[in-house]
Chains A and B, each alone.
Chain A
Amino acid sequence: MNSLKLLPRRIFAFVARDFRLFVSYRMQFFLRIISVLAVVTTLFFISKIFAGFTDPQYSQWRDPLASWLTGLAVLNYFMTGFSSLANSIRQEQMQGTLESVLLTPINLPTVIVSSSAWDFLETTFFSFLYLFFGRVFFGVQYRGSFFLAVVFLLLTTVVLACLGILSASFAMVFKRGDPFGIFLGAGSALFSGVFFPTQLLHEYAGPKLGNISLILPATHGLQGIRQILIEGHGLAQVTQPLITLLCFLAVLLPFSLWVFGRAVKRAKREGSLIQY
Chain B
Amino acid sequence: MLESAISIRNLSKTYPTPFRRLRAFFRRPVKEPVEALRDVSFDVREGAIFGLIGRNGAGKTTLTKIVATLVQPTTGSVSVRGNDSVLHDEQVRREIGLATAEERSFYWRLTSEQNLMFFARLHGLSDRIAKQRIRELFAQLELEEVARRRFGEMSTGNKQRLAVARAMLSNPPVLLLDEPTRSLDPLAAARMRELIRSLAQRDPPVTILLTSHNLAEVETLCERVAIISRGRIRALDTPQHLRSLTSKTEQIHVTVSGLNGSRDSERISFTRQAGDNELDERLRDLQSGGARILDVEVERATLFDVLEVYERGDLNLNQKENQ
Residues of A within 8 A of B (CB): 1, 3, 6, 9-10, 12-14, 16-17, 20-21, 24, 95-97, 99-107, 265, 268-273
Contact A268 B90 (CB under 8 A): no
Q: At the interface, yes or no: B62 with Cβ under 8 Å from chain A?
A: yes
Residues of A contacting B94 in the complex (Cβ-Cβ under 8 angstroms)? 105
- Given the interface contacts A17-B114, A104-B123, A105-B91, does A269 sit within 8 Å of B16 by beta carbon? yes
Can you name 7 A-B pairs with beta carbons within 8 Å?
A10-B121, A17-B118, A24-B110, A95-B108, A99-B70, A100-B106, A270-B16
Q: Does B126 contact A (CB under 8 A)?
A: yes
B24 interface contact, C-beta 8 A: no
Q: Considering the complex, give the chain A residue whose CB is closest to the CB of B115.
A: A17
A-B contact count (CB 8 A): 88
Which B78-125 residues have a C-beta within 8 angstroms of A? 90-91, 93-94, 98, 102, 104-110, 114, 117-119, 121-124
Complex contact A103–B110 (CB within 8 A): no
From A12, A20, A95, B104 is in contact (CB under 8 Å) with: A95
Instruction: With both chains docked as a complex, state the minimum distance between the C-beta of A90 and any C-beta of chain B, in angstroms.
Output: 14
Contacts of A102 in B (CB 8 A): 70
Assess whether A21 is in contact with B110, with CB atoms less than 8 Å apart.
yes
Nearest neighbor of B121 in chain A, beta-carbon distance: A13
User: Is B134 an interface residue, CB under 8 A from the partner?
Assistant: no
The answer to whether B68 and A103 touch across the interface, beta carbons within 8 angstroms, is: yes
The reply to whether A105 and B104 form a contact with Cβ atoms under 8 Å apart is no
A17-B114, A268-B72 known; A103 and B109 CB under 8 Å? no
Residues on the A chain within 8 Å of B93, using CB: 103-105
Complex formed: what's the CA distance from A272 to B18 in Å? Answer: 10
> 15 additional contacts, CB 8 Å, given A17-B114, A20-B110, A271-B65?
A9-B121, A10-B122, A16-B118, A20-B109, A21-B109, A97-B106, A99-B70, A100-B106, A100-B119, A105-B90, A265-B72, A269-B16, A269-B71, A271-B15, A273-B71
CB distance from B165 to the nearest CB of A (A): 13
**B126 near A9 (CB under 8 angstroms)?**
yes
Minimum CB distance partner of A25 in chain B: B109
A99 vs B163: C-alpha distance in the bound complex, in angstroms?
A: 13
Looking at A12, A21, A99, A106, the one whose CB has the most chain B CB atoms below 10 A away is A99
Asked if B124 and A105 make an inter-chain contact with CB atoms under 8 angstroms apart, the answer reads: yes
Q: Does B60 contact A (CB under 8 A)?
A: no
Residues of chain B within 8 A (CB-CB) of A269 are 16, 71-72, 74
Which residues on B sit within 8 Å (CB–CB) of A271?
15, 36, 62, 65, 71
B169 to A, closest residue via Cβ: A104
CA distance A86 to B93 in the complex (A): 24
Cβ-defined contact, B104 with A96, below 8 A: yes
CB neighbours (8 Å) of B69 from chain A are 103, 268
Chain A residue numbers with a CB within 8 Å of B18 are 270, 272
B70 touches A97 (CB 8 A): no
The answer to whether A13 touches B15 (Cβ under 8 A) is no
> Sorted from nearest, which 8 A-B pairs have the closest CB atoms?
A96-B104, A13-B121, A104-B122, A100-B105, A105-B93, A105-B94, A268-B72, A6-B124
Chain B residue contacts of A1, Cβ below 8 A? 124
Q: Is there a chain A Cβ closer than 8 Å to B224's Cβ?
A: no
CB <8 Å contact, B110 and A268:
no
- CB-CB < 8 A to B114: which residues of A? 17, 20
* Contact pattern, B 12-41, Cβ under 8 Å of A = 1, otherwise 0: 000110100000000000000000100000
Query: How far, in angstroms, from A20 to B118 measured CA to CA in the complex?
Result: 11
B160-204 interface bits toward A, Cβ cutoff 8 Å, 1 = contact, 0 = none:
000000100000000000000000000000000000000000000
CB distance from A262 to the nearest CB of B (A): 12
Instruction: Contacts A20-B110, A97-B106 given; indicate if A9 touches B70 (C-beta within 8 A).
Output: no
A269 CB to closest chain B CB (Å) equals 5
Tell me the minimal C-beta distance from A120 to chain B in angstroms.
19
The answer to whether B70 and A106 have CB atoms under 8 Å apart is no
For A107, what are the chain B residues with a Cβ–Cβ distance below 8 Å? Answer: 90
Contact indicator B70/A103 (Cβ below 8 Å): yes
- The CA of A6 and the CA of B124, in the complex, are separated in Å by 6
B166 touches A9 (CB 8 A): no
Complex Cα spacing A272 to B17, Å: 11
A3 CB contacts on chain B under 8 angstroms: 90
| Alpha-carbon separation in the docked complex, A97 to B100 (Å) | 12
For residue A12, which residue of chain B has the nearest CB? B121
A128 to B105, CA, bound (A): 35
Min distance, Cβ A15 to any Cβ of chain B, angstroms:
10
A11 to B: closest C-beta gap in Å: 9
**Beta-carbon contact of B122 and A13 below 8 Å:** yes
Whether A96 pairs with B121 at a CB distance below 8 angstroms is: no
Contacts of A272 in B (CB 8 A): 18
Interface string of B41-77 (1 = CB under 8 A from A): 0000000000000000000001001001111101000
Contact assessment for A105 and B70 in the assembled complex, using a CB-CB cutoff below 8 Å: no
When distances are taken between beta carbons in the complex, the residues of chain B under 8 Å from A106 are: 90, 122
